[in-house]
Structure 1
Amino acid sequence: MKAAIMGYGTIGSGVAKVLETNKDILAERIGEPLELKYILDLRDFPGDPNEKCFVKDYKEIVKDKDVKIVVETMGGVEPAFTFVKAMLEAGKSVTTSNKALVADKGAELMQIAEKHNVNFVFEAAVGGGIPIIRTLTACLTGDVIEEIDAICNGTTNYMLTNMEQFGSDYAEILAEAQSLGYAEKDPTADVEGFDSCRKIAILTSLITGKNVDFNDIPTEGISKISATDFKYAKAMGRSIKLIARSVKVGDKYACRVAPYLVKPENMLYHVSGVMNAVSVKGNMLGESMYYGAGAGALPTASAVVGDMVFLAKNVDKYVKIGWTSEKYQLSDPTQEQFRYFVRATASQSNIENEFENVEYANLDLDDEVGFITSEMTEREFNERIAALGGIISVIRLA
C-alpha cells in the first residue's frame, strides 16, 4: 500500500522514521507492506534516506491512484486545507497532526471524506502521542461524557512546573523555554491558551457530534501568572495548571481554558514538565486519565502511524465519527460557578463587604491581601470585583 507525507518537518520526518523502523510489524498488522512513495516539501533534503520520494507539487500525489493514504504535517490552515481537500476528493484517506486545521475545518473535511467514501482522521492533533481521539470516538461511546479536563500544551506545563519548583518569574522561564526549544520564538499561541483552546474545541465537537467554534470558548493563558501566585498556591497546598475544560451543565457543555489552582487529589496536579494528560469523566465509567508525551517527533508520529494503520484497514470504506457541521451552542460562560482566589490591594473590611464569606490565604505581604471566595457565578464575581477594585490577579479553583 502506497502512502505520502505532506510536510517534512519534525513530525513528518518522524513519521517516515516510524514507517521504516517498524515496517515489518506494520506489514503484519495491515496485511501488506506500507510503502512511502512521496514526500511533499518545497525544501531539498540531499542525502536523506528518502531523497527519491521528494516532490514539490501536491498535484503529483493527487494524480497517483496508487496512493491511498496521505499524512498532513504541514501545520496551519492554508495551504493545508486546499491540499487535504484535494486528496480526499481524489479518493485518498488523510491523517493529520494539525490542530489548527482540524479545529477550523474538521467538520467540512469529514463531510468531504464521507462523500468520497474515504476517511479523515486526526489522533495526533490533540495530546500528541496520547490516544484520546479514538478513546472518545470508539472506546467510550457507551458513556455520556460529563467532563473533560486536559493539560494539553507541553510548553505552558513546562513553564508552570519550573516556576513552581524554582520560584522563577514568567519572563525568566519563558526565555529559558525558548532557549531549550520548548517555546516558539513567538509563543503567543501556547502561552495565551489558544493552542489548548483549539484542542478542547475538537474534543467537545467529538462528544457533542456538532461543530464547536473555538472562538466561542473563553480563553486565558499563563502570561499573568507570577512567582508570587505560586507562593500563595504552596501556602494553600495547591498547584497552578493551565487546564482546557469541557463540562456538561444540564443539557449543554461549557468550555473554558484558564489557569486553575488544583489540589493533590486531582490527578492533573501530578502532571509536570512537558507531559500532557486528559482526564475524562463518563456517566458509567467514572473518571479515567490518559497521560503521555504531548509533543515531539516520535510520540506524535506514533499517533499518526496508528492512524495510517486504521486507514489501511478501512480503504474505500468510510467510518463514521459523528461530527457534523451544525454549530453547537455552548452554555453561557458567565453562568458557570467557581470559587476564586483573588489577590487585591483592598482592605479586609472592604473585601468582606463585597464577598461576605471568604478564606484568607495571606503571605503577610504589606501591600496586598489574598483570599478565596465562596462559589458563585462568573457574572456575580465580575460584578463584585468591579465594585471592590484594586485587583492584582484572579485564579479559579478546580
Structure 2
Amino acid sequence: MPVVVHPAALWEVHDDPRDFHAALDLQIRRHGENSYRLHRAIVVAGGLTDRTTLAAWRRGLKVPQTPASLKVLDIIEHRYQLEAGYLRSRLQRRRALSGLVPPEVQYAESRRLAWHLPDDFDERSAEEREEILAWVRSTILSGGTAYHRYHSTVSKHRFALRFDGSGPSELAAPAQLRTEMDALLRFKSATLTDIGYQRSGVWGAETAAQREEHLALLFGALAALPEDEVSGLGVPREDLTFALLVLPSVWDWYVKWRERRRGFFTGWESEMLLLGAAFSRSQTGWLRQSPWLAERLRPIPGIVAQEDIDRICEDWDGTCERVHRHALARSKEIERVARVHRDPFEPILPILEAASPVGEYRKITEEILRRMPEERR
C-alpha cells in the first residue's frame, strides 16, 4: 500500500491541546492513522524512530530529546500540514538534550551544553563543532566576565584559615589566633560585654560568621607563602595576631594584594578597611581596648621592625588612632575607583539588546501560558 504524502484531516480542530502527548495523539487520529502507518511514512521520509517510541510519545511515557527525534517531529508536522513548530512548541524542553555533543563529554556537562548548541550542531564540520563547544564553555558555562574567570581560577587555590577545626590541617588557624578570634566574637556577639569594655552595635549570628570568614581570608593571605599560587606575605603561622591590624602597612599590603589578583578594586576592600577602622575606633573599638595584643607582635621583614613594635607598645592608643584615620582615608580612595565586578543585568543582556525587549518578554508570558496545565486534565 503506497504511503500518502499528506493524508486529509477528518475534522477541524478549534481547541488544540497544550501538551505534546495529547496534541500528537489528536493529530494522528484526526488524520485517520495509527502509530504503524505514521512510522512507515516517517521511515520513507528519512526519519529515524520506531513504532514503540511513537506509541510512548502518544501515551506520555517519553518525549523527544535527541536531534533525530526532533527531526521526526518536523516530518510529522510537514506530513499533517501543521504550522512549523506545532509539536515542538508543546515540549517543555524544545532543545535536544542528548545526542549532540561528542560521547567523551561527561553526561552532566552534555546536558548543560545542549541548551546552547544549534539544532544542526551534529551536521556541522568538526572544526565548527570544536569552536562552538569552546565558546560555550568559556563564555557561558565558565562565566563571561573577567571576574567570573578570575573567581573560577583562584577558587581552586584555598588559603583562608579555618577557625572551626574543619578542612585540611595546613589551613587550621593557630591556637593563639583562635583565642583572639573567640575574644572578638564574644565582644561583638555576647549579650553583655566583659567588664571594662564598650561597644557600638552587636553582631548577629550571620554577621559574626561573615566577619569571621572575611578575617580568615585576610590572615590566610598573610600566612600564604610568596612563591606559591596565592602569592601571600609569608608571615609564620605562630606570629599571626590581630595586633597586626594596627599596622597601616598590613592593610595596604592586603588591599593591594587583592587588587593584583583580581585586576581592580571593588567595594569589598573598602568595606574591609571600614571594619578595620571600627576595630580601632576610640572608646568602642575592640583593638583599641585590647592593648595586651601588642605583646604578641613579632618583627616581619618589610612590614614591621622591632623598633616599630617598641613604639607601638609604648603608645597603643596613638597607634590605633593612626590606623583608624588611615583606614578611613584608604576606604574613601578605594571607593572612588572601585568597580562593580558583577553586572546585575548580565543574565538578561540578550533581552535588553534585542530589537524589541518587550517582545522578548512577551515570548516568556506566551510560553508560560502554553505550559500551564489544562483545567480539564
The TM tier, using the shorter chain, reads: under 0.3
| Structure number with larger C-alpha Rg | 2
Compare the two structures and name the one with the higher strand fraction: 1
* TM-score when normalising by structure 2: 0.23
Identify which of structures 1 and 2 has the higher relative contact order when contacts are C-alpha pairs closer than 8 Å and 6+ apart.
1
